[in-house]
Amino acid sequence: MFILGTICCRGGSKGVPGKNIKLLNGKPLVTYTIEAAQRSVLLNDTIVSTDSIDIGNVATANGIKTVIERPAALASDTASKWPVFIHALETYEAKNNCTVDYLVDMDVTVPLKTAADIDGAIQLALQDDTTDVVITAYEPERNPYFNMMELDEQGYAQIVKKSAKPIVRRQDAPEVYSLCPAAYVVKKAALYQYEHWSKATCKLFIMPRNRAIDIDTAFDFSLVEFIMQQQHNG
C-alpha cells in the first residue's frame, strides 16, 4: 500500500496576492501543510505540485524532496484539481518507478489542520474497499434546512432545503456538513473512473471547526494569524 501526499498550490492568487508563501505568523503559509504532512504516520511520501519557482524553493527548503512543475494549462484560475492530481501522480510514479494506491491532497489554505486530521481521513478511506474518496468536513454554523435562503426567479427568498413540515428548531434539522480541503483522500482508480470526486463513492471525516478555517480572503488570513498568536500565548 503506497499513499502519496500531494500539496498542489499555484503562484497566483486573487483574494490574497502571493498567498501560498505569504508569511503567516512568521512562516510561509505552505510550510504549515508541509509540517503537518511530515508528522503523518500514514503518508509514504509528500510532494509539491506548483507552477511557481518561489513555492518550489520554499518546499525544498522545508524538506520536500520532489517538486513537480505544473504545466500552465493546469495552473489557471479555471483549471480543475482532478487533472492536477493525475498529472502529479503519473509524474511521481514515472520518476520513482512505483505504483501509488491512494493520493492524499492537502490544501495549503487550511494551515490549522493537524497530522491527526490527515491520518484520520486516510484511516476512514482504508476501512473498506468500496469508498473512493474521503473528504475532511466540519459541522457548519448554518443549515440549509433551517437558516439558509436562496432567491427564486421572482427574487423572493425561499429556504434552501424544504421539508414536508417546516423546521422551527435547528436541533431538528438533518445533519449537514461543510467541506474543508484539509485533506482529500482519493483512491487511484477513482481518478480515472470519475471526472469529478462528487460522482464517486464518498465519505466525510469530521474535524473540529476551529482547525478547518479555509483562507480565501485577507480577513481569513488575519483571523488565522490571530488564532495562532492566541494559541502561542495561551
pLDDT of 14 above 70: no
The answer to whether the beta carbons of residues 103 and 188 sit under 8 Å apart is yes
pLDDT at 11: 83
String of DSSP letters for 41-88: SS-SEEEEEES-HHHHHHHHHTT--EEEEPPGGGSSTT--HHHHHHHH
pLDDT of residue 4: 98
Alpha carbon distance 181, 107 (integer Å) = 5
Domains and CATH numbers, the chain: 3-137+177-233 (3.90.550.10), 141-176 (no CATH)
Residue at grid coordinates 503559509: 29
Residue 120: DSSP 8-state? H
pLDDT at 234 exceeding the cut of 70: no
pLDDT score, position 76: 73
How far apart CA 200 and CA 28 sit, in angstroms, is 34
pLDDT of residue 146 exceeding 80: yes
Q: What is the pLDDT of residue 15?
A: 65
As a whole number, the mean pLDDT across the chain is 93
If one counts every other C-beta atom within 10 angstroms of the C-beta of residue 199, the result is 12
DSSP letters of 212-234?
A: -----SHHHHHHHHHHHHHHHH-
Cell of 59: 518546499
Pairing mode of beta strands 23-24, 3-8: unpaired
- Residue 184 dihedral angles phi and psi, to the nearest 5°: -115, 110
Per-residue pLDDT tens digits for 173-200: 999 999 999 999 999 999 999 988 899 9
With beta carbons less than 8 A apart as the criterion, state whether 137 and 179 touch.
yes
In three-state secondary structure terms, 28 is strand
pLDDT at residue 233 in the model: 77
Q: How far apart are CA 172 and CA 50, in angstroms?
A: 45
Do the bridges between strand 27-28 and strand 23-24 make them parallel or antiparallel, or are there none, so unpaired? antiparallel
